[in-house]
Amino acid sequence: MTKREMKVPFGTVSITDSSKEMVKEILETKRLSSGKYVNLFEERFARLMGVKEAVAVSSGTDADILALAVLHDYGAKRDDEIIVPALSFVSTGHAVIHAGFRPVFVDVCRDTLNIDPSLIEDAITDKTRAIMPVHLMGKPAPMDAVNKIAKKHGLYVIEDAAEAHGGAYKGKPLGTLSDMGAFSLYVAHIITTAEGGIVVTDNEEFAEILRSLRSHGRACKCKECTINTSSAYCKKRFGGGMGDDIRFIFERIGYSSKMNEIEAAIGLGNMEIYDQIVAKRRSNLVYALDHFTPFKPFLKTITEEAGEKIGPHAIPIIIQEGASFSRNDLAGYLEENGIETRTIFSSMPTQCDGFSYLGYKPGQFPVAEYIGKNGLHVGVHQDLGIEEMDYVLATIKAFLEACQR
Structural domains of the chain ordered from first start? 3-7+274-403 (3.90.1150.10), 17-271 (3.40.640.10)
Bridge partner list, 53 = 201
| 118-132, 222-236, 277-291, 372-386, range with the lowest pLDDT | 222-236
The one-letter amino acid code at 43 reads: E
What are the distances in angstroms from CA 50 to CA 26, 67, 335, 400?
28, 18, 40, 44
**DSSP one-letter string for 72-86:** GGGT--TT-EEEEES
Pick the range with the lowest mean pLDDT from 3-17, 30-44, 64-78, 391-405: 3-17
CA distance 96 to 101: 5
Mean predicted confidence (pLDDT) in 67-96:
98
CA atoms of 262 and 26, how far apart (whole Å): 7
Residue 385 has pLDDT above 80, yes or no: yes
| CB 135 within 8 Å of CB 311 | yes
pLDDT of residue 226: 47
pLDDT over 80 at 125, yes or no: yes
pLDDT in tens, 141-172: 999 999 999 999 999 999 999 999 999 999 99
Q: Alpha carbon of 32 to those of 77, 128, 402: distances in Å?
A: 36, 40, 54
In this predicted structure, the answer to whether residue 366 has a pLDDT above a threshold of 80 is yes
- Other Cβ atoms less than 10 A from the Cβ of 266: the count is 26
Q: What is the mean pLDDT of residues 337-346?
A: 96
Average pLDDT over residues 48-63: 97
Sign of the CA dihedral running 44, 48, 50, 51: negative
Instruction: Give the phi and the psi of residue 31 in degrees, each rounded to 5.
Output: -95, 90
C-alpha torsion sign, points 223, 227, 232, 236: positive
Closest to 12 in 3D by CA, of 285, 384, 386, 405: 384
